[in-house]
Amino acid sequence: MKKFLVTILFVSLVSSGFSKDFEGRTFLIIFNKSELKANKTSTSYIELSLNNIFSTRSYSGNSDAAIIVKVPYENIDACQLADFFIRINADKVSSLGEIAYQIIDLDESKSTYQFLLNTLEAKTVDKNKKSGKPLKATPTP
């Protein structure tokens, strides 16, 4: 019985050491600068509504205005994030989806990109095997 308990304890310690903890999801929220200006707001002001709940960072400048949001919960997606109510300016409160131009799940985009890349590489390898041509390690000019 004692060996059984020691074995269970050992297995649980080893499995917890190798398990991957969930690190969260990352979203990119893009805003239209002219719409922000029409609503008399900025990404920094909108970020104030989100940074109490999530880890955020706002960007503005010569390119599109954006906020990167790190969500510590696995089950929140872009649609649910769009439903969050935020303060747009001192007089107006609205859902994030109404003011955001686009909300992109960067983790989902990354996995889709990796899948497409792997598929393309597999097709290239299969094509080269059928033609009998060796794969080039480096392109020649």
Q: Is the pLDDT of residue 128 over 80?
A: no
Cβ proximity of 52 and 132 under 8 Å:
no
pLDDT tier at 22, thresholds 50, 70, 90:
low
The pLDDT value recorded for residue 132 is 64
* pTM, 2 dp: 0.67
Average pLDDT across the chain, whole number: 79
Cβ proximity of 48 and 86 under 8 Å:
no
Among 90, 73, 89, which Cα is nearest to 81's? 73
